[in-house]
Structure 1
Amino acid sequence: MPSGPVIGSLGELLVEFVCEQKDGRNLVPAAYRGPFPSGAPGIFIDQAARCGARAVFAGAVGTDAFGTVIFDRLVGDGVSASLIRRVAGVPTGSAHVSYNSDGSRDFVFNMAHSAAAHFPKGDEAVRGFLSAGCQVLHVSGSALGDPAMRAAVFDVCTALHGAGVSLSIDPNIRTELVSDAGYLQTVRALIALSDYVLPSDADAALLWPDTTFADWSASLSARHIALKRGDKGAVLKSGGTITGLPAARVTVIDPTGAGDCFCGTVVTLLAAGMAAPDALARGVAAGALAVSALGPMEGNATLSTIEAALAGA
């Protein structure tokens, strides 16, 4: 059993299918690769477990084959099954992604009307996380697009925050999932409560337009603030000190999940007491490993693999 910090997360679990043809935008017949285990918070918690966290996830999958793909991956990598439901009668959530030549991606999600929306909520989730000794609860903005899912996630977060659990948020803003103004309002409210805030460049441009990292990070009360910059690397502000690192030079096979791997690594290692520059270096290395494999969770790496990558850099 891992001896690291107890890290929790909740939200959508999906299988993902990746289009083999670029620029189709999911609009033309094409071959897809999959099913790959996915869902941003699921990728995060799998990476946290691989980095030594005692990982707990509140989520749901169907009793179909796709649900088995996800369940077996998470549990096999060390995530507790105590709050993962198998729900009969509804399909496991899914995402189809099509990449474009300019680097952009088009997603089609089946989330709110799938098993993904049936994750443990309210007192059940709060009790489950507290009984597991949860120290940090991580939320991805991808779980906040549907109003009902958003309300459930926010209720669990505020209850655990009130019980002394640290919150972590990756805004992970997906325009495909923004259904009403409450989406960004909830993202901002969770940022205000969080000890770990980990936006991407695109998130930051939307949340704090025309503002430098130094300025917008100074407006937050979070203890640790990381800015994910893709192929430009990452920046971490911790204890008032800002550290930046360039990205590793790698051949990008599939960028989906790289930010979640970065977050899972950095949050776990910071919660374990690792110095911020060292945690940042391992987060950047984890992101580089993640983009080197096809499939959003296929590039997730153990801490020993990350250390080996750093040693060979």
Structure 2
Amino acid sequence: MTVFVLGSINLDAVARVDDLPRPGETVAGRSLELFLGGKGANQAVAAARMGAPTRLMGAVGQDDSGASLKTKLMGYGVQVSDVLELADAPTGQAHVWVSASGENMIVVTAGANALVTPQQVAGATLEGQRILLCQLETPPTAIEALFRAGAAKGALRILNAAPALPQGAALFPLTDILILNQTELATYAKLDHEPVRLEEVSLAARKLMSRPDQTIIVTLGATGVAGVRRDEAFLVEGRKVKAIDTVGAGDCFCGALAAALAANMDLRDAVEMANAAAALSVQKSGAAPSMPNRREVEAFLER
């Protein structure tokens, strides 16, 4: 079964530094690399690498970066016929700083990503699309159009509500599975601290539910991943690995989860697999290039 991703496509410029700069501080970069990135592209690559036939809808500019990124996506097995090339906007970019400890800071310039429209969504064929996966780096109006159309086709709608934007909450009632990290959960639930324990996480997550059949997944970093439904909550513990680069780990989780669910995997087993995929991804540099394939994840789970 297939995964349909609506999301951003960026050129990631990743600079490695000893320590992340403080406000007003200039630091020397140890290296600079250019990667395929953007939450939509990253999650599509993760899903495709996990074996799911994957389509990506989005937009790039009619520039060298746009053409190159589409070629790279195809190289990862992602279908890009729904990616527009726009003449009046540049391809999106992300400027990423990664410290020696693996932490990162990111500034994103949307470019063509901001011009994806409901009309573009209306032109897509959604027949046979098992999973719809979105994030918040493309306009919420386009996401709403996709989720409303998907509901009529019986698709499972997954929203990774990142970055945390006020308008993102309006999409929650249209969402079947909502994916957040601790910071995003605290923002949307209007908490003054990030929840840590499963009891805190489940209480905060249930505040965001608008239907009894919704599921909320909360990634908790090294602690693991919490799954929350109206009548149950579970924790999949984190896996101890040496992080080299955490960029794209959340996207890896989302794409791998979508692929597992597209293969009709049970939710908890799907979360286990996605958690393992994300743990593998932080051991490599870059976002899309770090996404593991299904065989690597299965071998990691067996260990």
Counterpart of 2:148 in structure 1 is 158
- Secondary structure of 1:226's counterpart equals strand
- Tell whether 2:257 aligns with 1:285: no
- Tell whether 2:8 aligns with 1:12: yes
Q: CA deviation at 1:97?
A: 1.4
Counterpart of 1:115 in structure 2 is 112
Match of 1:192 among 158, 173, 176: 173
Higher share in strand: 2
Distance 1:126 1:302, change over 3 A: farther
Counterpart of 1:83 in structure 2 is 82
- Secondary structure of 2:238's counterpart equals coil
| CA distance in structure 2 between the aligned counterparts of 1:237 and 1:268, rounded to whole angstroms | 20
| CA distance in structure 1 between the aligned counterparts of 2:302 and 2:236, rounded to whole angstroms | 16
Q: Is the 8 A contact 2:49 2:292 kept in 1?
A: yes
Q: Is the 8 A contact 1:56 1:129 kept in 2?
A: no
Q: Is the 8 A contact 1:24 1:100 kept in 2?
A: no
| CA distance in structure 2 between the aligned counterparts of 1:73 and 1:239, rounded to whole angstroms | 41
Q: Is the 8 A contact 1:126 1:160 kept in 2?
A: no
Amino acid at match of 1:150: P
- Secondary structure of 2:80's counterpart equals coil
Note the residue ranges of structure 1 that are not aligned, 5 or more in a row: 144-148, 175-182
In the superposition, the TM-score normalised over structure 2's length comes to 0.85
Distance 1:142 1:63, change over 3 A: closer
Counterpart of 1:276 in structure 2 is 267
| CA distance in structure 2 between the aligned counterparts of 1:304 and 1:239, rounded to whole angstroms | 33
Counterpart of 1:202 in structure 2 is 183
Q: CA deviation at 1:285?
A: 0.7
Q: CA deviation at 1:150?
A: 3.0
1:220-259 alignment runs, 5 A limit: 220=209, 221=211, 222-237=213-228, 240-259=231-250
| CA distance in structure 2 between the aligned counterparts of 1:51 and 1:240, rounded to whole angstroms | 30
- Secondary structure of 2:79's counterpart equals coil
Find runs of 4+ consecutive structure 1 residues off by over 6 angstroms: none
| CA distance in structure 2 between the aligned counterparts of 1:89 and 1:162, rounded to whole angstroms | 33
Note the residue ranges of structure 2 that are not aligned, 5 or more in a row: none
Q: Is the 8 A contact 2:147 2:175 kept in 1?
A: no
Q: Is the 8 A contact 2:135 2:161 kept in 1?
A: yes
Q: Is the 8 A contact 2:206 2:229 kept in 1?
A: no
Counterpart of 1:169 in structure 2 is 159
- Tell whether 2:40 aligns with 1:52: no
- Tell whether 2:85 aligns with 1:94: no
| CA distance in structure 2 between the aligned counterparts of 1:58 and 1:256, rounded to whole angstroms | 22
Q: CA deviation at 1:49?
A: 1.3
Match of 1:141 among 120, 136, 139: 136
Q: Is the 8 A contact 2:249 2:279 kept in 1?
A: yes
- Secondary structure of 1:142's counterpart equals coil
In the superposition, the TM-score normalised over structure 1's length comes to 0.83
Distance 1:194 1:277, change over 3 A: same
Q: CA deviation at 1:142?
A: 3.2
| CA distance in structure 2 between the aligned counterparts of 1:115 and 1:29, rounded to whole angstroms | 30
Percent identity reads: 26
- Secondary structure of 1:81's counterpart equals strand
Q: Is the 8 A contact 1:25 1:106 kept in 2?
A: no
Q: CA deviation at 1:140?
A: 1.0
Q: Is the 8 A contact 1:254 1:295 kept in 2?
A: yes
List per-residue Cα deviations over 1:157-199 (Å, max 9, x = no partner). Answer: 334334543321111225xxxxxxxx41x31121222111111
Q: How many residues of Structure 1 are paired with residues of Structure 2 in the alignment?
A: 290
List per-residue Cα deviations over 1:216-258 (Å, max 9, x = no partner). Answer: 3444235432110111111223684433122111111111111
Amino acid at match of 2:26: V
